[in-house]
């Protein structure tokens, strides 16, 4: 299972200066509304039925939300109520914004999980829980930040969070729920040295001047988040660069579950298998194996085995054991990568059921993952962010 699959070469260190950019979005972004509603429905089911099977997708546009998918559960819940409550918590409580949790139409089309898929993932006598689908999943970690995440995506998330805080605390009462952030970091020999550009677009009420928005967001958002040592007189700021952002949320753009998968992971810095996370219970390895791959990569970096680490896992539907495991440390590994792969297989059980049990994933913890990234947030419920196995990996390598 371990090995250099397909002869894939290590990416290696990049010398000299280069730029890397990542973006994030606020809770009220239309795609993120859908992610949060999908995961809120999963949480509502898991509050009563931790073995429910959930694959829930949403779409939003002006005045309505569509909820569709396959759900098999004994839970008694109302997806319409869950959707309305989530939309109101996000901040869409006034029809003047073009979207309102009280009055929007909610269309529901839900069926049970396909029995053909269930054959592969149901646990029966002498049969382990198989993967809920085929696919490849990636986890990444690096030593750029205390969270062992790439700096551009961490700063972009922190800016998006700060926009939400300024709105919810009424510190900037003209802000509305939608918004996007983007940070370009300049690197020298793969070390982040400064912030090159900050882009911040925040939805606002029509009664505030553009220059006031720009002044406030630079002072109260950007400079409150980005460390001063990373900003200089050459840093470029694009604050609401079109000059006006009144029409936003579902009125300004259609939203879909799973359309912000790079925002959800590493901001483009690591590879991505293609599957989204939100609205999926953890029998779907798109979610659970991606969480496990992040956990493994983070522990490898925390153990000092590499400064950068990407872990790939792949699965076949209905099969418990992963098809393959690959570790790529981009030239920073302190021991050979095949040895790290051997240690991973010794320390971790990579079958779906052991992953679910080890990370304690059958809990209603998912709505909070659906905005500001699934990784790099050291919250108690984010078990995949723990570095509790670093010593075990070192011992397996006899270090």
Nearest to 350 by CA among 291, 298, 302, 289: 289
Residues 352, 241: Cα–Cα separation, whole Å? 45
Residue 81 near residue 89 (C-beta atoms within 8 A):
no
Q: How confident is the model at residue 7 (pLDDT cuts 50, 70, 90)?
A: very low
Dihedral (CA of 157, 163, 169, 175) sign: negative
Give all domains of the chain, ordered by start, each with its CATH number.
5-11+130-143+258-396 (3.30.300.10), 17-26+151-247 (3.30.300.10), 30-116 (3.30.300.10)
CA–CA separation, 70 and 202 (whole Å): 35
Q: How far is 27 from 396, CA to CA, in rounded Å?
A: 42
pLDDT 10s digits, 290-347 = 999 999 999 999 999 999 999 999 999 989 999 999 999 999 999 999 999 999 999 9
Give 179's strand partners. 202
Long-range contacts of 374-379 (CB under 8 A, 24+ apart): 374/264, 374/265, 374/277, 374/290, 374/291, 374/294, 375/149, 375/265, 375/266, 375/294, 376/145, 376/147, 376/148, 376/149, 376/153, 376/154, 376/157, 377/147, 378/147
pLDDT in tens, 222-240: 999 999 999 999 999 999 9
Rounded Cα distance, 58 and 72, in Å: 17
What pLDDT is stored for residue 119 in this prediction? 53
Q: What is the mean pLDDT of residues 77-91?
A: 97
- A 10 A CB-CB count for 393 gives 22
Residue 13 pLDDT exceeds 70:
no
Q: Tens digits of per-residue pLDDT, 144-174?
A: 999 999 999 999 999 999 999 999 999 999 9
Main-chain phi, psi angles of 32, to 5 degrees? -75, -30
Other beta carbons within 10 Å of 33 = 31
Give me the chain's average pLDDT, please.
Answer: 93
Q: Is the pLDDT of residue 83 over 70?
A: yes
Helix 79-90 with 30-46: angle, nearest 10 deg: 130
Claim: this prediction has a pTM higher than 0.85: yes
How many Cβ atoms from other residues are within 10 Å of residue 244's Cβ? 10
């Amino acid at each position: 299972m371990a090995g250099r699959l397909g002869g894939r070469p290590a990416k290696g260190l990049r010398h000299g200066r280069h730029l890397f950019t990542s973006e994030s979005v606020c809770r009220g972004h239309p795609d993120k509304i859908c992610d949060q509603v999908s995961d809120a429905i999963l949480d509502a089911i898991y509050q009563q039925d931790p073995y429910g099977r959930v694959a829930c997708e949403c779409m939003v546009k002006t005045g309505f939300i569509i909820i569709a998918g396959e759900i098999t559960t004994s839970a008694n819940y109302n997806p319409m109520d869950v959707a309305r409550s989530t939309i109101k918590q996000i901040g869409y409580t006034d029809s003047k914004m073009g979207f309102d949790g009280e009055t929007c139409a909610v269309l529901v089309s839900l069926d049970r999980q396909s029995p053909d898929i269930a054959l592969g993932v149901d646990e029966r006598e002498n049969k382990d829980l198989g993967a809920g689908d085929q696919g490849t999943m990636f986890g990444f970690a690096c030593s750029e930040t205390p969270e062992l995440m790439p700096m551009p995506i961490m700063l972009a998330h922190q800016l998006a969070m700060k926009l939400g805080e300024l709105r919810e605390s009424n510190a900037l009462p003209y802000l509305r729920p939608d918004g996007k952030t983007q940070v370009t970091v300049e690197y020298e020999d793969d070390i982040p040295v400064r912030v090159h550009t900050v882009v911040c677009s925040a939805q606002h009420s029509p009664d505030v001047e553009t220059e006031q928005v720009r002044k406030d967001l630079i002072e109260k958002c950007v400079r409150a988040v980005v460390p001063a040592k990373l900003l200089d007189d050459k840093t470029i700021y694009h604050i609401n660069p079109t000059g006006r952002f009144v029409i936003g949320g579902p009125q300004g753009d259609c939203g879909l579950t799973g359309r912000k998968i790079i925002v959800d992971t590493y901001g483009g810095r690591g590879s991505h298998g293609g599957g989204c996370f939100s609205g999926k219970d953890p029998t779907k390895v798109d979610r659970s194996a991606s969480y496990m791959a992040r956990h493994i990569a983070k522990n490898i970096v925390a153990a000092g085995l590499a400064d950068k680490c990407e872990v790939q896992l792949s699965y076949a539907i209905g099969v418990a054991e992963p098809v393959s495991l690959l570790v790529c440390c981009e030239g920073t590994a302190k021991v050979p990568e095949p040895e790290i792969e051997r240690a991973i297989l010794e320390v971790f059980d990579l079958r779906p059921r052991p992953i679910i049990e080890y990370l304690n994933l059958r809990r209603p913890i998912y709505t909070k993952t659906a905005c500001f990234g699934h990784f790099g947030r050291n919250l108690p419920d984010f078990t995949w962010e723990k570095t509790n196995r670093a010593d075990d990996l070192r011992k397996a390598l006899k270090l």
